[in-house]
Each structure stands twice: as C-alpha cells, then as structure tokens.
Amino acid sequence: MNEAPIRVLVIDDSALVRQTVAQALTRQPGIEVTASAANPVLVGERMQKAWPDVILLDIAGPRIDGLAFLRRLMAERPTPVIICSSLAEAGNDTLLQALAAGAVSIIARPQFGLKDFLDSTVPDIVAAIRAAAKTRVRQPLRGAAGSLPPAMMARLVRNSADAILPAGAGATLKTVDKVIAMGTSTGGTQALETVLTRLPLTVAGIVIVQHMPEQFTAMFAERLNTLCAIEVREGRNNDRILPGRALIAPGGKHMLLKRHAGQYQIEVVDGPLVNRHRPSVDVLFRSVARFAGSNAIGVIMTGMGDDGARGLKEVHDAGGATIAQDAASCVVFGMPNEAIKLGAADRVLPLSQIAAALIEAHR
C-alpha cells in the first residue's frame, strides 16, 4: 500500500521562487504541492480544506509578516515549517527568532542568481521537506518550565572524523575536571535553550555542536547568553573550557576537545563533511572520548540522522556518562535513537530532566 504524499504549501513573495520550487517538487515522488501563494492570508481557506504536512515559508517578503504567521501557526496548530529566505545568506536575528518560534530548519538563498540557485538546490530542499515531514512539532518550550528555577534565579544560587582528530592516544597529564559535550540538530535550538537556561554557574564546562548555518551560530550563542546564568558564546580556537561556560561550535567548522598542560581547550578546524555535517557531533564526541575519558558527560538530543551516535558510544566505552533524549520529548528522534540502538546511552531522559541530570552528574 502506497503512503500518502507529503503535502507542501509554498509561501513566498517571489513569483519566481513559487513557480520554480512548485515545478521542481511536483516532479518528486511522494511530494504534492497543495498550494502556493505570496501571502499566508491568501491560502487560509485552502489550508483548512487540505492542511499541509510541511510549509516552505519566506519570512522576509514585503507582503509577508512571516514571523507573526509562524508564531500564530505554532500556537494554534503546530506544523513543520522550513524557512527559505535571503535573510539567511548574511545571518539575521529574525531567523533566530523563527527557529525559537518553532521552525525546523533554514535554507539560505541568495538575492541574485536565484533561478540557478533554486535549480541546483532542489535535492537539499527535497531532503529538508522529507525530514520535516517526520518531525513532531510542538508549541515552543519555555525556559522557565520544569522543576528548576529560571536563569535569573540561577544567577543567585570511525569515518572522516579520523582525518580531523589528532593522532595519538591523548595527553598524559591527568585532570579530574568534568566536561559536558552536547550534540543536537533539528529542534535543537529549543532543546538547548531549555537545558542551558536551567544550569547554574557552577556547572562543568560545556562544548556543543548544533547543526546550523555558519552565519547563525554566533548570534545563536549571543541570544542564549542573554537568557542563561552561564556564559554562552561561539567557540574560538584555543578557548579554555571552564565551569559556567558553554562554547558552541562555529557553523562551517569542526570543533574538537584537546588537553594542554592539564587544561581542556577547544580546537576549531576546517575539514571534510562528516555524516554530511560540519560541524559534526561525532567529531566533537570522539575527541571528548579521547581526551576526557571517564571525566566526560555526553548528551545527544533531538535531530535527524545518526551524527553523534558512534561518538557517544566512544564516550560511553571510555567510561564517560552518557544521556540520550527520549522519543516523547524529541522533535526528531533520529540521532538519540541511533545512539540508543548502539548501546551508547546510560540513561534515556525527557528533555525536562536533562539539566538536573547534568548538575548531579558533574558533582
């Protein structure tokens, strides 16, 4: 029995984008474009008759208040939304707000040479649509939810990775300092906000890979830094890993853990795509397993695919503590599920319990 096609709604102020994308998608098996419009207001009635499985949304058109539409959609009927916008090419805080509001992914498009770009990017758009159709979108989580106090109160109280990892068995100098390594992808911006805003300044140093275009990681880190008790920023080469500090891998670069003179630092490097990603969670986790060993705490959260699963197994096998987010609280139970199937996770926890587990584990 054939599965029902993925119903896609295209909302874009550009007639060229609507026409090119719609024509390309109609040629794809298992995908049906139910409607396209310059403005969400124009398709409201058609959406009610045939609700889309995925919405491809331009958030920056002069006739589109895409952010307001996205927020209203997520509040009333959460639906997977992929942002396709020229704002993404140079980075824009509006796109971060869209991710925080519940968009599952972003496709950056240029302002010029649009037709050629769209023609060459069809495989990526199709892959994003198929992945988005499998997500379980919820109303955005709020950092204050759960049993721990919000950030303000907390202030008061083997693959291509081998080509990137340094050779050798790691530094010989010993340290008892803990390192928390976190990896996530689709849905991860909300998941990271939920976890990091609940951590106190005394928490162990944190290194993070979030699959995200390179223009956004610095802004994402800055946004989290305003919300969290801990310091959050984009990692720079040779940055030290310190308690109360979280370093996010720069988009387009791999980030690794290293140890020098008994101190943990990060190394930011170029390199090949690993598991189709740069930065890759596997690259980070494998370096953490090598240099932190039993002092590591690995966490894998919501995301499509399997990046990080094998690396988390290496952290586990090196004696580190490992946590996977559970299926019920994931937007996409891909990466955690693959790690669980490998036997890489000591504990499988809902998102709301991960922060408490990290506070307890590093003591």
Helix (H) / strand (E) containing 267: strand 263-269
Spatial separation of the C-alpha atoms in residues 224 and 192, rounded to whole Å: 9
Direct distance between the N- and C-terminal alpha carbons of the chain, in angstroms, rounded to an integer = 53
Spatial separation of the C-alpha atoms in residues 71 and 191, rounded to whole Å: 18
Measure Cα distances from 214 to 67, 92, 116, 173, 338 in Å: 21, 12, 22, 34, 26
Look up 185 and say whether it is catalytic. Answer: yes
Look up 119 and say whether it is catalytic. Answer: no
Q: Please, what sign has the CA dihedral across residues 305, 17, 52, 98?
A: positive
Nearest alpha-carbon partner for 235 in 158, 300, 182, 199: 182
Q: Which of 307, 316, 326, 362 is catalytic?
A: 307
Q: Are 360 and 204 in contact (CB under 8 A)?
A: no
Q: Which of 85, 86, 105, 211 is catalytic?
A: 211
Which tokens is 267 given? 């190394």
Q: Are 179 and 257 in contact (CB under 8 A)?
A: yes
What is the identity of the amino acid at 178?
Answer: K
Collapse the DSSP code of 6 into the 3-class scheme (helix H, G, I; strand E, B; otherwise coil) and give the result: strand
Other Cβ atoms within 10 Å of 135 Cβ, number: 24
Spatial separation of the C-alpha atoms in residues 107 and 252, rounded to whole Å: 15
Look up 211 and say whether it is catalytic. Answer: yes
Nearest alpha-carbon partner for 161 in 322, 314, 336, 302: 314
Q: Which of 85, 86, 105, 185 is catalytic?
A: 185
Per the DSSP assignment, residues forming a β-bridge with 324 are 300, 348
Spatial separation of the C-alpha atoms in residues 309 and 298, rounded to whole Å: 10
Q: Could you list the active site residues?
A: 185, 211, 307
